[in-house]
Structure 1
Amino acid sequence: MSSLPLRTMPRPALMVALMASAAPLAFAQDAISPTQLPPVTVTGTSTPSLTVPTTDEAEQRIQRTPGGVELVPDTAFKNGTANTIRDVLGWVPGVVTQPKSNIDNRVSIRGSGLTRNYGNRGVNLYMDGIPINTSDGLFDVFEIDPGAYRYVEVYKGANALRYGANALGGAVNFVTPTGHDASRFDGRLDTGSFGFLKGQASTGGTSGAFDYFANVSAQREDGYRDHSDGHMERGSVNLGYRFSPDAETRFYLNANSWRQRLPGELTKSAALNAPTSADSEFVRQDQQRNIDSIRLANKTTLRFDDTDVEFGVFNHRRHVDHPIYRYLDYTVNDYGGFVSATDDRTLAGFRNRLVVGANVLNGTMDYEEFNNPGGAVKGALVFSTRDKAENYSAYAENSFFVVPEVAVIAGVQFLHAVRDRTDRFLSDGDQSGRRTYDLWSPKVGVLWDVDPNWQLFANVSRSAEVPTFDSNSFATPASSAVNAQTATTYEIGTRGRRPDVTWDLALYRSNIRNELQCVATSPYSTCSVRNADKTVHQGVELGLGVAVLKALAAQDDRTWLNLTYTYSDFFFDGATYHGNSLPGVPPHSVRAELLYKHPSGFYAGPSVDWMPKAFHADNANTLKADPYSLLNLKIGFDQGSGVSGYLEGRNLLDKRYISSTITAETATAASALFNPGYGRAVHAGMRFTW
């Protein structure tokens, strides 16, 4: 079966590893036997990195996971507006990316952290395999620069054990190019509605044993809503040195600066009737989120016959200047290290693959709150703490091939975590405290290669998440007793392809104890975090790519129907709110695209975003966000190098809708819980590579 060049491949909706692709699945490429490993050779400047797998290598590796995983190549998100994390992950089923304002998005996988009204939790984010979450578990999406990556790996749920990750939502790894696969120059300029403008440039190359990649970008946006303007600058560098064919080290540097005004949430009526407006109190206080961050990391890979060893260290420092209902000013300093070994060999005639590793992620936060009388003015000090988080984990996962086509997988992780707070403002009492957590998370699964282009998988796993510092604040006995969230997940699915069809299907059920819920008590304060007793998250993740029309204008052209469908049935199963739906996420989410692609590089087609059923904004299920459908259109030209460009229209019918909510216990029509979605927008961009 022949394959098209990468730049002419289609973009199936669920199997994001095959988005923009008409080639066979990664696990079928080169027909590598499960008992025979591909050789590695070193041939000067054309040698791929030992530390960073190529896209093809990453596809082959990720398909050895007996569960829901996706690989998103850069060809899937660089041929249109690449501004937010939704532009990267929006076609991955099971991943919910709900826009707030400007670049800010809530990110939830299988219902992880779905009630957060600020920050994100429940997913472990990595950049080049190195964690970027804070040590207490939160993450920001502003550090994600979609134009900077070669590909993105998505490991749902406990399928992320490959990185030692153990959150309900799993892990997402953003991988930058190296000097071996980067263009000598890659520059693009994007512009669009609501004052959006972004410029980006990168370069890469090799010199003997050295290679390098560097990327810089800057963007600004007036914002769709009042008081939502912002701008940011981001830069990244990675430098590699190959000591020998079996040893390589790589240094990473990332620097980011973000300035963003916050418009606040609105009542449902205001969100639908005056969607560009801002909350008047947010405007009066000039609420903002301003972050500067810098990250330095090193990763080294050594190869010994059948065993690869990887280890590294990192430091990530952030300063947050955050005037909201109070003026928050704090510095976060996270640091740690990791080591893992992968042994792949034949034992008594059977292939066996063993992965073992250990991670350390520690950090401190010097935190202060001041009064904000208005206009983002730092008033009197009212709260001051020094927080320290420690996380020590060890994990192992073994894949034993009982026959060449069937692997039985078993794994386990142990986590020891500490959350320690020292109160430095004692006039309102001593709010110091300390909690420790010791958590075991086992996993078993099976993976069957039915044929070179078709897999079946199943697994049972446990996950655990330790509360963040805004959960256990130690201010009261109740706020000092928030427990770790644990879940047992059952999953079964299949993925594969035929010449003109790709599919990816997973069904799962997670039985959760002590789900961490972030419940709003006032629109002008942070939420209150509590455990929600017993809950259930179950659903279906479906993706399909079908060549519905062929040879319309050329022998090798295709018109692809790409579909992503996510069904989320999340509900309370304990005594409180028993049987009620969990708020914050729609039960059905559909994205569909009909895309024509010509061998010359021309592509065009419409797409729709459809939420066919309302979802609740509160635990009592009294207030809903209404269904909606959006019409989009994209046209462009891309031959993989030289000049390319696109024109893209979103929400062309200017539909008024709600894109995300924050969560309340019981809501009324006067509850300000809603973020309106963007109105009609048009974006265009040009790119030049050589």
Structure 2
Amino acid sequence: MNKTMLAALLATTIATPVFAQDRADDQDRTNRTTIIVIGARETEQARTEIERTPGGVEVVSDTTFKNTPVQNIKDILDYVPGVITQLRMGDDARVAIRGSGLSRAYGIRGITVLLDGIPMNTSDGLMDFFEIDPSAYRYVEVFKGGNALRYGSNALGGAVNLVTPTGRDASMLDARIDVASFGYVKGQVSTGGASGNFDYFATVSGQRIDGYRDHSNGDALRGNLNFGYRLSPTVETRFYVTAASTNQRIPGEVTKAQALNTPRAANAVWEAQDQQRNVESIRVSNKTSFTFGDTTLDVGAFYNWRHVDHPIFQYLDYTVDDYGAFVRVVDDRSLGGLRNRLTVGANLQNGTIDTNQYVNVAATKGALAASMVDKSGNLSFYAEDSLYVRPNLSLIAGIQYLDASRDRRDRFLSNGDQSGRRDFSLWSPKFGVLWEVQPGTQIFANVSRSAEVPSYDANVITAVNLRPQRATTYEIGTRGHRGNFGWDVSLYRSELTDELQCLTTGPFSACGIINVGHTVHQGIEAGVDATIPLSNSGDSLSFTGAYTYSDFFFDDDATYGDNRLPGVPQHFLRAELLYKHKSGFYAGPNAEWSPQSYYADNANTLTVNPYALFNLKAGFDTGKHWSIYVEGRNLTDRRYISTVAVAGVASPGSELFNPGTGRAVFAGVRFKW
């Protein structure tokens, strides 16, 4: 809006009679209501779509996390049963779904992360959360385990799809500022709108944090933009642009005693080396959708560029160039009097990682220690068919084929030539049944295969006989709503062959990958939500709970027998009780509880202590222009272990532990128009 237009608008507003201003206010309320309704409709449509899956899935609406600190991905996924998110420092977190990437202390693998349905993982499979702005999304889809075939994913942990608003469901202005303990400040502003066939949405955020621990300060600047155009009533194209610049110091893992007794101290060697992870990235993509009667077609392409400046035990300097394309056809029609929904698609994702590795001399580049170019190629085809043998009963069959290659060209030959190539050809079928017992109540079951190819940090070329991880997963469950009560329960068992473990072998090196012969991941994922009316005027109590039982163990291993797999707690509970007043005021406690020790090593010699965190939040949100909140976390200042790097055999002196954050207070204010 230019200055002339703004002046004209102000003049018109000042001169407007009272009755005309009332009409303007009515129009403002109508516009806000329209945006809210469209946003809610989009989220509900996504929930309806995802619940056609015969397995554990969930949609997390922004209404559950926008009026919270939303500092990192944990604030979004905390109440999704089956998902365990463990913070390391800053925005870095380890996310495990059904034991995916169980032994990793950094990054994630075994989960496909998508932004508006377009992959964010590098082409070799790795992903970290520094580039994600958790307050930028309309809703988040979670596909657990083998239930992510909709996007062609067949990883053990499934997929997480982050969905941004469009100009048709976004406010013209949405701004917020958050402040918290340990020097945390974040500001964000977004805008969106539509004119005829064109719409746009843009958001930018900036943050800085001193950090709870020494040497854990960081800052980030992130932006998301998408704009779409309806070429015709049956054709729409949309472009996405995402950019991020993040800088984060790394305090490093310490011994268990240090983590519990001096939790704010950094690892002295990591601090002396000034270890950091600094990332700059740009993502550009397009998706065009066509509708032909009962058939929809999505086609698109993407390019991801990332530069990582990463002084750790050595100084890593590398650039990632990824590109790809995708096509997906969904045909929903009647065949022989029976409804049939067929999904067929293909994904291409190729990329290059150009790496130079130097001796780290206090965060400056010393002598060259390694240099290589790693190329990844991935081509997958997938199909899934749902045949409704009865209006409320569907049989599902699916399959994915993955052709992958990993090619390394070593440019540093003084220690020998590490060049090489590996090719993988993997099939993963799936079968399931979905029964809608009655409206609002579903029962489901499925059996699926998954396959994961080692990533480059697993030293895929030079590791001896490193094989892809395979798993067969069996699942049964139910979900639904009855009045003010909702539930989502899944029981699963995954039988793995050649599980990829990333074991910490020394204090100053990246973890090394091994294959474990046979392991079992089984568990229970249970979520409930309930609303209890307290008055006829709208006051209520709401309860949300998420329980995850993770029974992971070796299966007659030659070295570790039937020991428990380390890395995550066996029992994990998140629960919240919230009082909501009709005025928009809300308040209540919530808790995080890990009631039992779990192991830090395969030998089961070193444990992580149980803990319980007590939190309290309050706020005011009328659903109109202004909202505010305040939240206290870990109010008892409990000392605990947040995440652990996994070892084969550990000792009390092993530096594997990251302490959790102490008592912290967050506050924020948000304005929408």
TM range (shorter): over 0.9
The yes-or-no answer on 1:673 pairing with 2:619 is no
Aligned to 2:479: 495
The yes-or-no answer on 1:632 pairing with 2:615 is yes
* Cα offset, 1:638, TM superposition: 1.2
Q: Gaps spanning 5+ residues in structure 1: where?
A: 1-44
The normalised TM-score by structure 2 is: 0.94
The yes-or-no answer on 1:560 pairing with 2:547 is no
* Cα offset, 1:48, TM superposition: 12
Aligned to 2:604: 621
* Cα offset, 1:46, TM superposition: 7.7
Q: What percent of counterpart residues are identical?
A: 59
Preserved CA contact (<8 Å) 1:472 1:480: no
* Cα offset, 1:599, TM superposition: 2.4
Secondary structure of 1:60's match? helix
Aligned to 2:571: 588
Secondary structure of 2:541's match? strand
The yes-or-no answer on 1:682 pairing with 2:670 is no
Distance in 1 (CA, whole Å) between partners of 2:528 and 2:283 is 38
Render the CA deviation track for 1:90-138: whole Å, top value 9, x for unaligned.
1101111001111110011000001112221110000000000000000
Aligned to 1:62: 50
The yes-or-no answer on 1:197 pairing with 2:181 is no
Distance in 2 (CA, whole Å) between partners of 1:130 and 1:400 is 27
With over 3 angstroms needed to count, the CA separation of the structure-2 counterparts of 1:428 and 1:169, relative to structure 1, is same
The normalised TM-score by structure 1 is: 0.91
Preserved CA contact (<8 Å) 1:502 1:544: yes
The structure 2 residue matched to 1:268, chosen from 250, 256, 259, is 256
The structure 2 residue matched to 1:427, chosen from 414, 422, 438, is 414
Secondary structure of 1:470's match? helix
Distance in 2 (CA, whole Å) between partners of 1:48 and 1:446 is 35
Secondary structure of 1:380's match? strand
* Cα offset, 1:641, TM superposition: 2.5
The structure 1 residue matched to 2:161, chosen from 165, 173, 185, is 173
Preserved CA contact (<8 Å) 1:323 1:376: yes
* Cα offset, 1:194, TM superposition: 0.2
Distance in 1 (CA, whole Å) between partners of 2:202 and 2:312 is 35
The structure 2 residue matched to 1:571, chosen from 526, 536, 553, is 553
With over 3 angstroms needed to count, the CA separation of the structure-2 counterparts of 1:444 and 1:48, relative to structure 1, is farther
> After the TM superposition, which residues 325-404 of structure 1 pair with which residues of structure 2 at under 5 Å, given as runs?
325-373=313-361, 375-404=362-391
The structure 2 residue matched to 1:518, chosen from 502, 516, 538, is 502
Distance in 1 (CA, whole Å) between partners of 2:528 and 2:196 is 44
Preserved CA contact (<8 Å) 1:49 1:180: no
Render the CA deviation track for 1:376-395: whole Å, top value 9, x for unaligned.
01011110000000000000
Instruction: Tell me which amino acid in the other structure corresponds to 1:225.
Output: R
Preserved CA contact (<8 Å) 1:48 1:180: no
Preserved CA contact (<8 Å) 2:62 2:137: yes
Secondary structure of 2:149's match? helix
Distance in 1 (CA, whole Å) between partners of 2:164 and 2:402 is 29
Higher relative contact order at CA 8 Å, sep ≥6: structure 1 or structure 2?
Answer: 1
* Cα offset, 1:53, TM superposition: 8.3
* Cα offset, 1:617, TM superposition: 0.2
Secondary structure of 1:58's match? helix
Aligned to 2:237: 249
* Cα offset, 1:500, TM superposition: 2.1
Render the CA deviation track for 1:18-61: whole Å, top value 9, x for unaligned.
xxxxxxxxxxxxxxxxxxxxxxxxxxx989999x9811211110
The yes-or-no answer on 1:462 pairing with 2:449 is yes
> After the TM superposition, which residues 34-183 of structure 1 pair with which residues of structure 2 at under 5 Å, given as runs?
54-183=42-171
Preserved CA contact (<8 Å) 1:67 1:491: yes
The yes-or-no answer on 1:439 pairing with 2:426 is yes
Preserved CA contact (<8 Å) 2:35 2:171: no
Distance in 2 (CA, whole Å) between partners of 1:268 and 1:46 is 53
Aligned to 1:235: 223
Preserved CA contact (<8 Å) 2:252 2:270: yes
Distance in 2 (CA, whole Å) between partners of 1:396 and 1:591 is 36
Preserved CA contact (<8 Å) 2:111 2:155: yes
Distance in 2 (CA, whole Å) between partners of 1:103 and 1:164 is 28
The yes-or-no answer on 1:642 pairing with 2:625 is yes
* Cα offset, 1:506, TM superposition: 0.2
RMSD: 1.6
Instruction: Tell me which amino acid in the other structure corresponds to 1:383.
Output: A
Instruction: Tell me which amino acid in the other structure corresponds to 2:87.
Output: P
Instruction: Tell me which amino acid in the other structure corresponds to 1:565.
Output: Y
Instruction: Tell me which amino acid in the other structure corresponds to 2:584.
Output: G
Distance in 2 (CA, whole Å) between partners of 1:404 and 1:172 is 29
Distance in 2 (CA, whole Å) between partners of 1:459 and 1:356 is 19
* Cα offset, 1:447, TM superposition: 0.3
Preserved CA contact (<8 Å) 1:632 1:651: yes
Preserved CA contact (<8 Å) 2:305 2:322: yes
The yes-or-no answer on 1:611 pairing with 2:594 is yes
* Cα offset, 1:472, TM superposition: 3.1
Secondary structure of 1:59's match? helix
Render the CA deviation track for 1:606-656: whole Å, top value 9, x for unaligned.
011000001100000000010000100000111222000100000000000
Instruction: Tell me which amino acid in the other structure corresponds to 1:579.
Output: D
Distance in 2 (CA, whole Å) between partners of 1:686 and 1:471 is 44
Q: Gaps spanning 5+ residues in structure 2: where?
A: 1-32
Secondary structure of 2:75's match? helix
Render the CA deviation track for 1:172-199: whole Å, top value 9, x for unaligned.
0000000000000000000000000000
Preserved CA contact (<8 Å) 2:35 2:169: no
Instruction: Tell me which amino acid in the other structure corresponds to 1:484.
Output: P
Instruction: Tell me which amino acid in the other structure corresponds to 1:483.
Output: R
Secondary structure of 2:559's match? coil
Render the CA deviation track for 1:330-356: whole Å, top value 9, x for unaligned.
000010000000000011110000000
Distance in 2 (CA, whole Å) between partners of 1:245 and 1:468 is 43
- Give aligned pairs, total: 640
Distance in 2 (CA, whole Å) between partners of 1:560 and 1:667 is 43
Instruction: Tell me which amino acid in the other structure corresponds to 2:286.
Output: N
Instruction: Tell me which amino acid in the other structure corresponds to 1:459.
Output: N
The yes-or-no answer on 1:226 pairing with 2:230 is no
Secondary structure of 1:294's match? strand
Render the CA deviation track for 1:368-419: whole Å, top value 9, x for unaligned.
100112x201011110000000000000000000000000000000000000
Preserved CA contact (<8 Å) 2:100 2:111: yes
Distance in 1 (CA, whole Å) between partners of 2:344 and 2:131 is 29
Preserved CA contact (<8 Å) 1:533 1:576: no
With over 3 angstroms needed to count, the CA separation of the structure-2 counterparts of 1:448 and 1:155, relative to structure 1, is same
Preserved CA contact (<8 Å) 1:129 1:173: yes
Render the CA deviation track for 1:246-270: whole Å, top value 9, x for unaligned.
1000000000001000000010000
Aligned to 1:531: 515
Instruction: Tell me which amino acid in the other structure corresponds to 1:647.
Output: V
Distance in 2 (CA, whole Å) between partners of 1:273 and 1:103 is 24
